[in-house]
Structure 1
Amino acid sequence: MDDHPIARDGIRTWLSRDPLGRAELIASGATIESVLRGPGATADVLLLDLELHGVMVIDRIAELCAEGRRVVVYSGHEDPETILAVLDAGASTFIAKSENEQHCVDTIVTVATDRPYVPPMMAGAFLSDARPQRPRLSEREREALLLWFQSMSKASVARRMGLTEATVRQYIDRVRVKYAKIGRPAPSKAALLARAIEDGLIQAHEIQEYRSFAADPESAP
């Protein structure tokens, strides 16, 4: 979604030039609503310009992600504070408009397959982050982690949260990327749990509070 026709045409051209034909633009428009009313409603990835018609739409990112959509933000606003705010809102990743077409195509493809991807500008924002050396999680990321830590499978977490399993994997992978970027990798589930408890993102007593749908049928959706 971009309110400049030239930008939309440019992205269409970039995708069409990919020698592997890995991605297809199925809808484009100048507003979020115009895209989601049509074929874009079923898109694997939404590429969103952060400023539409002079209005910053950071507040819409969390809404779109809560619906289970994969959102990639593509913007000329490249300051670290904006990039970190976009990621905190739940976007899968951020691409600066100054980055080249290969980064754009590669990002769309990797996000569509629920793999983490960190373009250069986003990596720079992580490195310049002066906030305390623990990642900031969105509410949905924290909820997914907590349910997963309670010995639920990712499929079960997805059912509990009303999301797709792919979206749950994306949330968990994104937390791993955040830890890796501050030099505290957590490659295993046990390591990730230890990091989360150490940083106060998850309380140890919360891990024991889960009741399954089988044990509590009234809680099932």
Structure 2
Amino acid sequence: MGADPVAGGMTPERSRITVAIVDDHPVVIEGIRSWLATEPRLAVVATGEDPDTVLAASQPADVILLDLRLRGRMAIDKVTELSGAGRRVVVYSEHSDPDTILAVLDAGAVAFLAKQEGREHCVDTVLAAASDRPYVPPALAGAIVGDRRTDRPVLSEKEREALLLWFQSMSKASVARRMNISEHTVKQYVDRARIKYARAGRPAPTKAALLARAIEDGLVRADEIGN
């Protein structure tokens, strides 16, 4: 199945949230597309079974809905790759055991959605992901509540690097130039760190609070901030 860059003939306005759906079952894609079509703020701009083909076929989507199992293999490495590039990835899957969900979050996904959780949770999760707000559907809530690991969030190397440069009094535009990425991607790294702390029950809504959390957890050292 190839990419469908104009999914359903829809021509989204710039103000609408754009979504790409990656799944290797056409019936699932059509079902999710029909759910998202009930929300006028959302526009599906590409669909298909191969992430690279889908994402190359359209404008950059605000949110990527990614099936975790594609063509017989788990795609956690693709979650890591896309998240590392600053993309908002919502993973949805029939594999909703806590270990899988936590692995997906550690890989950088902004949310996990179990396939059986239905239209309302799907729409609300996508809307929240697009605005970098935490949204916790039932399967994700169960995994977080049952998580007996440390409450220190796992940040990617790119997230940590962006935070460190930002904490060193660089503007996000300067951080973007230093890391050779877009300012939007820098903002996503910072926002993802905040989301991870919020999920861990340790919210950090301000820069000062986020710095304090990062130092507490050894993600950055106090002497690095003065460099």
Give 1:179's aligned amino acid. Y
Partner of residue 50 from structure 2, selected from 25, 31, 37:
31
The structure whose residues are more often strand, as a share, is 2
Shift in CA distance, 157/35, structure 1 to aligned 2, threshold 3 Å = same
Superposed displacement of residue 129, structure 1: 1.5
Where 2:65 maps in the other structure, the secondary structure is: strand
Instruction: Tell me which moved more, 150-159 or 7-16.
Output: 150-159
Shift in CA distance, 79/29, structure 1 to aligned 2, threshold 3 Å = same
Count matched residues.
Answer: 206
TM superposition score normalised by structure 1: 0.85
Give 2:216's aligned amino acid. E
1:62 aligns with 2:83: no
Q: Which residue of 1 aligns with 2:134?
A: 116
Are the equivalent residues in 1 in contact too, given 2:89–2:109 (CA < 8 A)? yes
Report the Cα distance in structure 2 between the residues aligned to 1:171 and 1:186, rounded to whole angstroms: 14
Give 2:148's aligned amino acid. A
Q: Which residue of 1 aligns with 2:9?
A: none
Give 1:98's aligned amino acid. Q
Percent identity reads 63
Structure 2 unaligned runs (5+)? 1-21
Report the Cα distance in structure 1 between the residues aligned to 2:91 and 2:50, rounded to whole angstroms: 14
Q: Which residue of 2 aligns with 1:52?
A: 70
Are the equivalent residues in 2 in contact too, given 1:115–1:170 (CA < 8 A)? no
Are the equivalent residues in 2 in contact too, given 1:14–1:101 (CA < 8 A)? yes
Shift in CA distance, 110/160, structure 1 to aligned 2, threshold 3 Å = farther
What is the Cα-based RMSD across aligned positions, in Å? 1.8
Are the equivalent residues in 1 in contact too, given 2:67–2:92 (CA < 8 A)? yes
Shift in CA distance, 63/163, structure 1 to aligned 2, threshold 3 Å = same
Give 1:8's aligned amino acid. I
Q: Which residue of 2 aligns with 1:9?
A: 30
Report the Cα distance in structure 1 between the residues aligned to 2:141 and 2:217, rounded to whole angstroms: 22
Report the Cα distance in structure 2 between the residues aligned to 1:11 and 1:161, rounded to whole angstroms: 35
Partner of residue 89 from structure 1, selected from 100, 107, 112:
107
